[in-house]
């Protein structure tokens, strides 16, 4: 157990639907990062939140959004899902030690059918 908790572990949904992925960071970590891992794109950075505020944005589609709540957990919302959104979505957290303290969760495997 890395200390970063992601739920659910698996998710199967239909095209056009909306899902929410949840991430609880390691205790004390203020930053949460979302990554998408797919066979054709590899590991892509989506978005980073730090203490409730968006800090960096990567290749995140407009259909996707995220937020970080006061208790520091984060949610990634994926809407109008397409087959190509099927991927493993990882969350990572870090403290003020920056990338030195990066810890990944086990991921949520999303399958869009």
Partner 1 sequence: AQSVSQHNHHVILSEAASLELGCNYSYGGTVNLFWYVQYPGQHLQLLLKYFSGDPLVKGIKGFEAEFIKSKFSFNLRKPSVQWSDTAEYFCAVNANSNDYKLSFGAGTTVTVRA
Residues in contact with partner 1 by CB under 8 A are 2, 4, 31, 33, 35, 42-45, 48, 55-56, 58, 90, 92, 94, 98-100, 102, 104-107
Least separation in angstroms between CB 65 and partner 1: 17
Residue (16 or 58) nearer to partner 1, CB: 58
Least separation in angstroms between CB 49 and partner 1: 11
Residue (43 or 113) nearer to partner 1, CB: 43
Say how far apart CA 88 and CA 71 lie, in whole Å. 24
Say how far apart CA 12 and CA 113 lie, in whole Å. 7
Residue with tokens 């199967």: 12
Residue (70 or 98) nearer to partner 1, CB: 98
- Distance from chain centroid for Cα 24: 10
Residue (79 or 106) nearer to partner 1, CB: 106
Least separation in angstroms between CB 39 and partner 1: 10
Structure-token pair, residue 77: 């919302």
């Amino acid at each position: 157990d890395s200390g970063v908790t992601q739920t659910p572990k698996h998710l199967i949904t239909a095209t056009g639907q909306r899902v929410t992925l949840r991430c609880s960071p390691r205790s004390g970590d203020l930053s949460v990062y979302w990554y998408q891992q797919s066979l054709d794109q590899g590991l892509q950075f989506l978005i980073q939140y730090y203490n409730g505020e968006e800090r960096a944005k990567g290749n995140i589609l407009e259909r996707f959004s995220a937020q970080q709540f006061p208790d520091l957990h984060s949610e990634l919302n994926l809407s109008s899902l397409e087959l190509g959104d099927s991927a493993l979505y990882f969350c990572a957290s870090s403290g003020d030690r920056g990338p030195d303290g990066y810890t990944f969760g086990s991921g949520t495997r999303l399958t869009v059918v």
